[in-house]
Chain A
Amino acid sequence: MKNIYSINNLSYRLDSNEIITNISCDIKRGCISVIKGPNGAGKTTLLKLVFGLIQPSSGKIIRNFDQNNIEIAYIFQNPIFLNRTVRENLRHALYCKDICKSKWNSIIEKKVNEFILNDFLDIDIRLLSGGELQLVSLLRSSLVTPNILFYDEPTNNLDTKNVKLISNILNKYLKEGSTIIMVSHDELLLKNLNHQELIMEKGRILNV
């Protein structure tokens, strides 16, 4: 199946406000799909709906994969962490993902080297800057390489060097066969990524 998600007549209402209005589109497997649009267009809501964090008011999302045998990760625009050290947050993610405890340290060491975050491992998460939190958030979701990665504004607060680092990591995932669905306006990031664009405005997709 070429499409990993098929979205049919999807709508989402919050109280009396319609945030997403009758959206239909397909998300291709093994590609990067970028949702773009002005503030308040419903980009993050669409991302959360497709992931399953919130449920649609009407319409259907067909998932063309076996949910039990697939690793799906979601990275938030404002990453949420436990009030512990970076290492403890990473260990908690591995605990949640049912990874054998004996493998935790080796997985963390390997991934931390990849993200060049070795110096941050034993620092309290509350002491990190916004950009550093974004990197740790990506690192946390990458502990087990995701088959599908949902990414909301990945380069928020990041400098040019780290935008390039994230671009390289996303390209690496793409080569490994991952599907990436993200919200982003960062041209520096997007110019290095082969992607399809979904342009949103007022809860609708304009370019389907």
Chain B
Amino acid sequence: MELLLESFKNIFELNQSYLEIVVLSLYVSIFATLLSGILSIIIASYISTTNFIGKEMITIIINSLMSLPPVVVGLVLYIIFSASGILGFMDILYSPAIMILAQFIIVTPIIMSLLLKCFTDKYMYLSELLSSLNTTKYKTRNTIIYETRYDVVIAFITGLSRALSEVGAVIIVGGNIDNLTRVMTTSIVLETSRGELSLALSLGISLILIALVMNVLILILKKKFL
């Protein structure tokens, strides 16, 4: 009980190191999710409204990539961006930039797969109507995206939740450096191993609170605008 009280005290005191960790976590994950979401909307809307050879194979690959192990993503990025790697000259290892890239790779198949499913379903329902209106492919895609806007928000939130809770890749490529690449999940791992359970717990509670706030936001958005 004392531990729990101390954890909440950490949250409400908003001390500098706690705030830095939360802000960096949100910055990295929101940035990665936004990039991933924009790319996913473009690709998923194209795939769902176009017939081409290999469409099923691409869908299978996207779905399979959802289970991409984060530590493998981290390891591959580490090999590529380490000093002796082919992109080592970019010098982004142990920086927020490579953490964004890692989360982007992990989150993209999840968002794309969810969008592909809802865009395809909506297109199957509306395709005859849109054809009968002699509309262009561009307007067809716009209609499909607009008509599934609630599902698009859900896919973004799912992606953001996945990015925020990710630890394996960011700890490898970010290095969990204080004031530079330390995010909530990597910090929880470190503080737990150091026995600083109250700080670890307050970060864990923060993660849950963020998830809760996001879900409340979805509900409000759905009722007001969607």
Contacts and interface: CB of A to CB of B under 8 A. Distances in A.
A95 B136 CA distance: 10
Interface stretch (B42-50, B126-134, B160-168, B171-179): B126-134
B139 interface: yes
Contacts of B133: 93, 96-97
B149 to A, nearest CB: 12
Contacts of A73: 132
Interface string A53-78: 10000000000000000001111100
A52 B131 CA distance: 9
A80 B128 contact: yes
- Grouping DSSP codes into helix (H, G, I), strand (E, B) and loop, the A interface class, with mixed when no group exceeds half, is mixed
Residue of B126, B132, B135, B143 with highest tally of chain A CB at under 10 A: B132
B134 A72 contact: yes
B139 to A, nearest CB: 6
A51 interface: yes
Contacts of A150: 132
A49 to B, nearest CB: 13
A204 B123 CA distance: 32
A93 B143 CA distance: 11
A80 B139 contact: no
Given A96-B133, A96-B134, A76 B128 contact: yes
Contacts of A188: none
Contacts of A93: 133
Contact of B143 (A53, A83, A96, A141): A96
B116 to A, nearest CB: 21
Nearest to B142: A95
Nearest to B125: A80
A49 B2 CA distance: 74
Interface string B124-158: 01101111111100010001000100000000000
**A-side interface size class:** 10 to 19
Contacts of A141: 132
Residue of B128, B131, B133 with highest tally of chain A CB at under 10 A: B133
Given A53-B128, A80-B125, A80-B128, A97 B134 contact: yes
A92 interface: yes
Given A80-B125, A80-B126, A51 B143 contact: no
Contacts of A80: 125-126, 128-129
Interface in A74-115: 74-76, 80-83, 92-93, 95-97
B139 A95 contact: yes
A120 B128 CA distance: 24
Contacts of B129: 76, 80-81
Contacts of A74: 131-132
Contacts of B135: 96-97
Contacts of B139: 95-96
Nearest to B135: A96
Contacts of B130: 96
A83 B135 CA distance: 19
A60 B132 CA distance: 20
A116 to B, nearest CB: 24
Contacts of B126: 80, 82
A76 B133 CA distance: 12
A51 B132 contact: yes
B5 to A, nearest CB: 49
Q: 8 smallest A-B Cβ distances: which pairs?
A: A96-B135, A74-B132, A96-B133, A80-B129, A96-B139, A53-B131, A93-B133, A53-B128
22 contacts: A51-B132, A52-B131, A53-B131, A53-B132, A74-B131, A76-B129, A80-B126, A80-B128, A80-B129, A82-B126, A82-B143, A92-B143, A93-B133, A95-B139, A96-B133, A96-B134, A96-B139, A96-B143, A97-B133, A97-B134, A141-B132, A150-B132
